[in-house]
Structure 1
Amino acid sequence: MTEQHDQASWHLETSLVHAGDRTAPPVATPTVTPIYTSTTYLYPTLDELDAAFVSGEGYFYTRYGNPTVAAFEQALAQAEAARGAVAYSSGMAALHAALLAASTPRGETAPRPTSILAARDLYGSTTVLLEELFAARGAQVNYVDLCDAEATAAALQAYAPVVVLAESISNPLLHVLDLAKLVEQCRSYGARLVIDATLATPVLQRPLTLGVDLVVHSATKYLGGHGDAAGGIVAARTGLLHVTLVQQSRLLGATLGPYEAQQLQRGMKTLALRMERQCANAAQVAAYLTTHPAVAHVYYPGLAEHPGHTLAAAAFGGRFGGLVSFELAASTALPRFVDALRLFLPATTLGDLYSLVSVPALASHRELTPEQRAERGISAGLVRLSLGIEAIDDLLADLQQALACLEAA
């Protein structure tokens, strides 16, 4: 490029457009990955641009790759021990991409109608995605309790699915999967296993090391952790699945922006520290709630009475996640309880460094029918708490005063 040599002869209008751009990068390496906002990238000659397209290396157009986004993908791939990862503009976009890649015939890149066996207790929007974007277009979608090994084996034999989809810790009832057993079952029937690991994060479990094929994260949640950036990411166990994700991502175009990528990668730097505090806070909140007369039932894998406690203790290294769900004894008291909280924020998300409260029937599972919610065990009185990193004494005091309002009413 010869702009520098020609700049002296440029008119003012031309200088205002081009001056300062396309300067050489610094010789020193920046400590933090810069935010690359350019949508396109230049090569010295047309032949070099053509060679870059042929090799597939380098950057051309932001839908085909961005250095800031690539840094986030590399960070997650390393955290998950993956062959590669691909980032998307939201967690739902990432889940959609994972299902398409998993249902793509091995060695090919075009998605095809397929059969999916899904966990019965999925996040509400995931169920809607399966019904409206897969089943409605000819895919066979069936549901089963994947925590039940016998029922899973029977469903695998009956439906012969191409893809099995589940959450490592379910939202919001916090069922825990035996991933090692499920991997063994899926392999015996030739099904690819896709796991949404948003709630566990790689801090608690790395599913690819157990043989899971694709791991999905809503990066908006724990990975980012600050409530300021939306995104999703899929990590692949094999090179074939990673290539499939890359190729399909370029066509689908649900690209993560560089600003969001930088914020999500920055959030990952403190993920382990945040999860330690969030898990510790959740354990103490769950223990407190079990003692309160206004609470009918508490769902938390860290409690000895939880059906997945022993499995979770072995799988997660003695930590049990940052979510606690519980049933109020009187469901009609739920609005008073939520409105009385002062420190827990009523937000329809989870995984932030702030503590949050949500009502699944009105938020995460609102799109399901009352019958579907009942089938999944989601009652009108179910409350979900996402623990943040605040001092535990302040969190317990907030819960205590909100529950006291119910006793006084």
Structure 2
Amino acid sequence: MQVINNIHNQLSHIEEVKGGSVVTPLGFKAAGVHAGLRYNKKDIGAIVSEVPANCAAVYTTSHFQAAPLKVTQDSIQKEKCIQAVVVNSACANACTGEQGLKDAYQMRKIMANYLQMKEEYVAVSSTGVIGEFLQMDKIEKGIHQFIFDDKPQSAEAFQEAILTTDTVMKKCCYSASIAGVTVTMGGTAKGSGMIHPNMATMLGFITTDVNISSEVLQSSLSKVIPISFNQITVDGDTSTNDTVLVMANGMAENEELTEDHPDYPIFLELLSVTCESLAKQIAKDGEGATKLIEVKVSGSKDDEEARVIAKQIVGSNLVKTAIYGSDANWGRIITAIGQTNTAVNPACVDIAIGNIIMLKESEPQPFSEQTAIDYLGQDFIQIFVDLHNGDGKGKAWGCDLSYDYVKINASYRT
């Protein structure tokens, strides 16, 4: 992953598209409607490409993968491309046995018939309560209400339809020049609780008009996931439905990208920036969260160990509650580092919260408690750790742990 870290530091080819979304790349449309799965909010949505799109996906590592994941895997395996993805909220269709799998396939069939395309061109995704069956009459009703277009309102309707306990919609859009052609990438995601991906209930959908094969796209996504979505945690729980799906329809008509193409690093950066943006938005919107926490670790044996340490720190309940209470208790950071199975020299560790140095070569440093309280009162907190034990670097993102997290999850089904 050092290659990607170097790209992050060196490239400036990526431009943010203000107001952009999953329908900004050429050839993509979206829709979202209220089908009655939830009381009064949009609850089923879809993204459609004008032409079949090469695709890549990663899924939860949970032993209990939900039925929709199996259907999507079947579609991708058979065709290596998809043209539409349909997503419902309110019900995860997970741990629902043979009936759940039949329902997921039926959901795919209804969508394919509505769009008059092959069933295998449709991916399926669900999020919500585990162990409940889909209300298929409402699913069918919702799909038949879809009116697709590429207006911002349609993208927003899709974004709303996939939410559960999220308090805000997550989206981003970026562009870059590849082989002399402008290509665009848009993304949206949902996730607020049960977030501890190994690639929780977390879904991410990315569209792009770049011309790239499914094989190279999958390889690229596999490189980016470990330093983006897999580096966020809200509560340490991995769910049954985690999916990140990328669709590339080639309508920008750039020269096909291969990993040997001179502009491939630009595409890799484009994908990395998109995934990192969505990942950080999920972490910031953690259930009950009041602060986004970013942990940066340097000086580790390698990048992988740096990422392990960063995620251990940001996932520590003691660190999270200290940040919530604006308590500069750096001992909790040391405790989190000490739990990891990584190479650490306990005699030469530096720790800083913001620009306040608290530990230097494992020696406590004097600092103003009031200055620390003032800094920790902000809504974006950075923690820096230098292990002085190598060249590895890594980042992770999470949120504080508040009283509201317990309130939200104590009554999730009711």
Class of the TM-score when normalised by the shorter of the 2 chains: under 0.3
Which structure has more helix as a fraction of its residues?
Answer: 1
Larger Rg: 1
Give the TM-score normalised by the residue count of structure 2.
0.22
* Structure in which a larger fraction of residues adopt strand: 2
Give the TM-score taking structure 1 as reference length.
0.22
